Structure 1
């Protein structure tokens, strides 16, 4: 079977797009350049803010996303991944206007939990306010019998501040400080008497840029890593 070409509908944000491509490279069992997969990237940072659109306070990103999808199709991609969780809120509308299939980041995460952690039934979600209010992660995980716990308003505000600081290349806040804040939020979900989650989902593709498994005492699910691995598999190669 010939390998399929991965299309990345990116720019939301640019560093997460870079991280996605890096994860595809690092999880492909290549011994030389020619063993790697062909990847086509359209990184358009002009896509309107997805969280603002979801909560009704900003321009819809759909038209620009559709335009990007068509660019990827013309460039030879066989399917598309989107390294932005909040953008998946608009996935159905975008999918209805392009011919290439779009892989779901929610499916990538839920299927990994089902296969690798079948006893995990309560998980903490760290994501943008748009992703949380859209309830797409919660609905997909509920289909797998998994309860989703989200941070309280104060902790959610800290997550959003961290995400935007990661996006801001001119931020004066250190990455170590961002990591410490995100770790604190995660640990509260793990240890708080009313939460006691059994795992944490990095439900925003910026979060893995500052938070990793080494910071946590429970299984950590990097949604972008799992999407990258799903893309490698869809392209015809079993990831490392």
Structure 2
């Protein structure tokens, strides 16, 4: 006699398109961070990438329409495709997710919380938060870090302008390798400002940070990447082992 069939593996749903490059980067990191030796050891993933979601920065600042209707449309597709665990590789949209998720039976892996947890676990006491202006103004990371006794440092005006230029360059399709030196210069500036760590809290910058790490850069302080934190936590949520 054969035993009962194993329970089907939970399906990851990725609600993306905010922006497209960030979504593609998250999927790459999800693959690279899975401790797998064969195709079959990777999780099942369904992705909805909608670049037409209204601008999250404008929505948070009250100058643009809410992204919630578009998010709910995407969630409907993901739920219909069998997704059970939800990953949203966009920091700025997270304040809208509770409203968007109302009525959906999906387990959200909260990017803000898991990134803040990794930052605290790294031993960082003052983290420079590299993020959109709206993410910083909303205070989502400041609150999550404060709850873990980590100070969230907002870059000074000139440094923050460079952060926004870096984000815009990724969205415009500038080759990532051409942006690495700018990212590393930002980390140097923030270290000189007294930060003992960096929290990469924008998915576009995550792609640049990963390229810097792949090139063997020796940063003066540790950098925690919210995209990688999200990928690892999502893998754990579906019973997979993240690569060390």
TM-score, length of structure 1 as denominator length: 0.91
Question: Aligned partners of 1:29 and 1:176: how far apart in 2?
Answer: 26
Structure 1 spans left out of the alignment, 5+ residues: none
238 and 175 in structure 1: CA distance in 2 versus 1, 3 angstrom threshold: closer
Cα 1:71–1:168, aligned 2, differ >3 Å: closer, same or farther? same
Structure 2 residue 241 is matched with structure 1 residue 238: yes
Q: Which residue of 2 aligns with 1:182?
A: 183
Give the whole-Å Cα distance in 2 for the aligned partners of 1:121 and 1:106.
Answer: 17
8 Å CA contact retained: 2:84, 2:105: no
Contact 1:183 1:215 in 2 (8 A): no
1:138 aligns with 2:136: no
Residue 33 (structure 1) aligned to one of 35, 39, 60: 39
Secondary structure (helix, strand or coil) at the match of 1:77 reads: coil
1:156 aligns with 2:160: yes
Contact 2:120 2:145 in 1 (8 A): no
Per the normalisation by structure 2, the TM-score is 0.89
Matches within 5 A, 1:87-236: 87-115=93-121, 117=122, 119-169=123-173, 171=174, 175-192=176-193, 196-211=194-209, 212-213=212-213, 214=217, 216-236=219-239
Query: For the aligned residues, what is the CA RMSD?
Result: 1.6
Q: Secondary structure at the match of 2:203?
A: coil
CA distance in 2, matches of 1:233, 1:175: 29
The answer as to whether partners of 2:14 and 2:45 remain within 8 angstroms in 1 is: yes
How far apart in 2 are the matches of 1:165 and 1:101? 33
Q: d(CA) in 1 for partners of 2:164 and 2:178?
A: 14
